[in-house]
Structure 1
Amino acid sequence: MSDITINKVVIHELVKDQHQSIQPSNLRSTVLDSANSIVLKLVESITALYGTRNNSAHYGTFRTGDGSGLFPENLISYTQLTQPDDSHFLSLTQIAMNELYRKAESIHASSGGYILFADYSNTQSRFFIIAMIKQKEGIRLSASLEPEELIELDMSRLYQAARINFGKLSAYLAASEADKQDLSYLSFVSPTVGKTAAGYFVTALGCAPGAASSRATDTLVKESTAFFRNNEILNPSRKRFKDNLLEYLARKEESGESVKLSEVEEIARPFMPAEEAGQADEMANAFIAHLNSEEHAVPVEFPVNKAALKKHTHISYSADNWDLKFERHALGLTDAAQIFYDRENRRITIRDLPDRLIEKISDELENRPEE
């Protein structure tokens, strides 16, 4: 039984070869049969690629104001319909195709392809997905076992795609302006977002990266550590991996460079077994899919949030009369540790106090009036 339910689905064609003039789009006038097994398999294959190692997603929201185009406002109106019919769905897809045509026409190096649109639901939420599919050449054997050329759809990767989560969009629209800073409801896959030729797809649809760096930083540390902890093979290495990850994040924060999931994978790779062919690749793919999933939404690239990072590198507490803050690695359960926690007596001992602090303490005690 399928994990998804297709509400509406259609495929149009954006007709443009790279470095050639754009041609009129090939628009289908009716939706596809959602119950057709091949149609269902196609949509399942597209959605299954989302968030995998070579199809990692950016998370964000629609642009607002100039440059957002017509698609965002029409998509929002569509999500608010109680029961959209085929005409509502097709009208929205044609608006998107017009926006894609307009952008691709102005960029000589851009290329087109088949554009799949689907309104579907799964156990998580309801989604609207737009994905570009390309053709590829292959070889098959004829009935007489003669090799012959075959043209088929390339289902190995997402060339360009965008997906909107209806539930998260509804929550975003109802949130306060302050809370909206931490929310995202759309994701998109584009191998070269910053490059005009490939980035026209997400630009035409009004997508903009913007996942909150504080949430992304915190979730990356928590969920990558959880992945190691919940994997029997990786669990013994979780502390060393976490130390390496925190060092990496600290370097990125200091340099101002963005975190990249591809680099996080490189940190995790040495701890992944490779006794069997493809074992490490399979585990790495599952690791990135876990982080980049709709549930956890760690973007493919984001800046480190200093405050969120400090929550994982430091322990701090403020009482009425004192504050305490120290790096986590300084804490230990023996008197050899710089910060020694005596569990039995519920006490903390700080070793190797600096001379300047000792002077301050001595001065304070010596200058106190006698009680």
Structure 2
Amino acid sequence: MIRIEARARVVALALPAIWGAVAVAYELTCPLAQEDGLGARMTSSAVFFAVGTGLTAGVRRVLLRELAQLSEVAKAAQRVLLRPLPPRLDGLAVAAGQLSAHRGADVGGDLYEAVVTERGVRVVMGDVRGHGLAPIGTVAAVLGSFREAAHDERELAGVLRRLERALGRHVDGVEGGAEGADGEEFVTVLLLEIRPDGSVFALNCGHPWPYRLGRGVGRIVGGEPLPPLGPFPLPDALPARYCGRILPGEVLLLHTDGVEDARDAAGRFFPLHRALVEAAAAPASPEPDELVGSLRGALLRHTGGRSGDDMALLALRNDRPRVPRQGCAQTANLRSSTRS
């Protein structure tokens, strides 16, 4: 593969080399190039102008091809790191999107993932200190740990402890292998477990609580959040907090703090709650991909495309059918048998 790429690069540079050889040969061998008359000088200028144009075009073509290849490789790596979520997960419609503070990047310091497990759909959303490309190593460490721990650990507490250990190993590796590490890496993390009946359990380390869109718009809250992962060790007891249920048709919206902290040119914050109220006022329950897309567009308009922080959104809608409670079904059967 390396030899093929090297051969292609040599072929791409062949034309500029030929143009350069023509210019040198003209200067050394053509009698007209040795004359001092106006016509000779004009001819020489025309030759060298043509040669310069050819060289510029050839080099530009090579650079554009190299840039396209690098962009393709970078986007492939970004898709592996923050892979697209499937549109449906165990009866939940899912959509996600983000905006990086680094121009030209598809990922930054925000992270999210959702997987189906034996306990239900488990979701993580987090925000690494810093923005742009610098926190990507930490994002990779936390996401990689979650993708394994979400399936291996029976309780959410076990998942969170695995994330803490992964972050600690990553920080230790950076401090040991790179100069200038400040040892102050931290990550806000929200872990959710959405069970088959719509019950939501959560562990929150310094992250914004999500919104629920149904008959109205409000946050689901599971108590006071823990500190972000990194600066302080997790407590010995880590019970997952019950946050209520999302009923069929209701939408859960997770976000990073960059969304509500986004400012316009006048310094006004992005009105996320108002935007969600408008979405919830529609006759039908909003589609997750349309909700994320409309919020993303509104954020771009609000900030004028100049965000100072990364922003991420993740929407989940409960599309599971309504199932009557077991007690009600047993009562109905009993009444029917009594009448007969």
TM superposition score category, shorter chain reference = under 0.3
Bigger fraction of residues in helix: 2
Q: Which has the larger radius of gyration?
A: 2
TM-score (norm 1): 0.24
